[in-house]
């Protein structure tokens, strides 16, 4: 947070990642990228297919954190980087903090992506997408529990929350 508030924001890097995420999700969903533009003042990508996942993906998919995990995972497989694991966690923290802080900063500005999908749906998808990202990532990265155990805990606690919330109504 000190870095976020104390230093200039690397908006060009954020916009490139934002637009690349749109492009990546368009390709994953079966579309093609026909045009790509990114600058510190904004950007856009033109794709042949669009849906709410493609439109909202930059707000819940931490591209740079995923790239860091892939980079380190490949390096670990090839060169046994276990000794560098603290640096992996440090870099992952920086990449994920970059995603969270700049996404929250950019969401305060008018975003056509959210306008096109509606603010309520967009907010729900962004919140659930970020929660799901953490729910999947934490067990895989920490190896404290399995993915299914983490999902079980989440459903159990969600059920408990809903039971408690129902008492107020």
Domain spans, the chain: 2-144
Is 13's pLDDT higher than 90? Answer: yes
Give the model's pLDDT for residue 147: 86
First to last CA, the chain: 38
DSSP for 3-62 reads HHHHS---HHHHHHHHHHHHHHHHHHTT--EEEEEEETTEEEEEES---HHHHHHHHH--
Which residue's structure tokens are 């008492």? Answer: 167
- The CA distance from 92 to 15, in Å, is 19
Give the residue from 99, 105, 74 showing the smallest Cα distance to 17.
Answer: 99
- The model's pLDDT over 27-79, given as tens digits with 9 standing for 90+, comes to 999 999 999 999 988 999 999 999 999 999 999 999 999 999 999 999 999 99
| pLDDT computed for residue 7 by the predictor | 84
Tell whether the model's pLDDT for residue 83 goes beyond 90: yes
pLDDT band at residue 3, thresholds of 50, 70 and 90? confident
Q: What is the pTM of this model?
A: 0.86
Closest CA to 22 of 146, 117, 149, 143: 117
pLDDT of residue 143: 77
Task: Compute the distance between CA of residue 139 and CA of residue 63 in angstroms, rounded to an integer.
Answer: 19
Output the pLDDT for position 108.
Answer: 87
Higher pLDDT, 163 or 145: 163
């Amino acid at each position: 947070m000190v870095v976020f508030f104390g230093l200039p924001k690397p908006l060009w890097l954020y916009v490139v990642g934002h637009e690349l995420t749109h492009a990546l999700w368009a390709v994953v969903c079966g579309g093609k990228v026909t045009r790509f533009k990114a600058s510190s003042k904004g950007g856009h990508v033109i794709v042949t297919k669009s849906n709410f996942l493609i439109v909202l993906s930059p707000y819940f998919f931490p591209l740079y954190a995923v790239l860091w995990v892939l980079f380190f995972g490949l390096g670990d497989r090839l060169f046994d980087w276990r000794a560098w694991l603290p640096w992996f966690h440090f870099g992952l923290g920086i990449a994920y903090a970059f995603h969270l802080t700049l996404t929250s900063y950019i969401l305060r500005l008018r975003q056509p992506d959210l306008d096109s999908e509606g603010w309520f749906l967009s907010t729900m998808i962004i919140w659930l997408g970020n929660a799901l990202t953490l729910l999947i990532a934490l067990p895989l990265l920490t190896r404290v529990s399995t993915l299914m155990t983490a999902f079980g805990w989440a459903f159990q606690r969600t059920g408990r929350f809903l039971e408690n919330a129902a008492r107020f109504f």
